[in-house]
Amino acid sequence: MEDKLKRAGALLNDNNKSLAKRFRALFMLKGIGGDQAVNYIAECFKDSSALLKHELAYCLGQMQNKKAIPVLISVLEDTLQEAMVRHEAGEALGAIGDESALKTLEKYVNDPTPEVAETCILAVDRIKWLKQRRQEVLYESPYESVDPAPSGVKNNEDINSIKNKLVNMTLPLFERYKAMFSLRNIGTEEAATALAEGLNCTDSALFRHEIAYVLGQMQLPNVVPQLNASLKDSNENCMVRHECAEALGSIADETCLNILKSYLSDPDDVVRESCEVALDMYDYERSSEFQYAISDAD
């Protein structure tokens, strides 16, 4: 295992390798876990790719290793880092859920970058929710992800009622996120269609980006047109377009292939790189590979 760890760490930090291979190395480190994996991931924040650094922060949050807290705080505090990287560092601190991060997160709830401020508000809410453990009716999640908010709906609540909460721009984001994850966990095409309506909410790019993320988790092809429409919109926030691309790669319907290929020359670096990675994810989803990780040949 130590050899695999070293090999994955070296590949992740080798900027001469393709982004797709480095992503596979990153997710291999996430799967192995432990302090040394955190060290290899933390080392890579010096990279020039905002997309990769964003994914580094995501994986550190999902690993829930408290050793990652100092590096995530330093990334959040670094105003020279791209917004999507700082946002993901804040979300990762919320995912780890340790109260030691509250003071820093509360400092940035009024950050001038909306995506960062909203993320920190959500992270603070999640940590406080973890502490209080409110008694809520929760759907059992079929996913292994650590989410920014719990899934909570009433037993008799229908999809349309949950969708109304999702798109209600007067509700706090934490409540709308709960509706989002409730629809995701229901997991039907009807629920996915309801979720896709959130891509049209104009109040928060952060919210739209999370909608695209959960649609990628669901992997249902009936929402490919909506994801394509958001990816096609050059005026959309790159965080949203990037998640739409990766969602299409995860869905891996045949129509996704040509869509992703058409954006490999997109002028936005994050979108272009996301399509490169998404095409690798597409290949993985349609293969017999057991795990999204580096091969023995890498």
Q: Is the pLDDT of residue 298 over 70?
A: no
Distances (CA, A) of 136 to 85, 155, 195, 209: 32, 11, 21, 26
Distance from the first to the final alpha carbon of the chain: 16
Q: In this predicted structure, what is the pLDDT of residue 12?
A: 97
- Computed over every residue of the chain, the mean pLDDT equals 93
Smallest CA-to-CA distance from 27 within 8, 42, 6, 13 is with 8
pLDDT, tens digit, for every residue of 35-53?
Answer: 999 999 999 999 999 999 9
pTM: 0.94
Which pLDDT does position 3 carry in this prediction?
A: 87
Amino acid identity, residue 262? S
Mean pLDDT value across residues 5-28: 96
Ramachandran assignment for 145, one of left (phi > 0), alpha (psi -120 to 50 degrees), beta (any other): beta
Whether the predicted pLDDT of 154 surpasses 60: no
Residue closest to 214 by CA, chosen among 181, 254, 176 = 181
Going from the C-alpha of 258 to that of each of 86, 228, 243, the distances in angstroms are: 32, 11, 17
Structural domains of the chain, with CATH: 1-134 (1.25.10.10)
Q: How many residues would you count in the chain?
A: 298
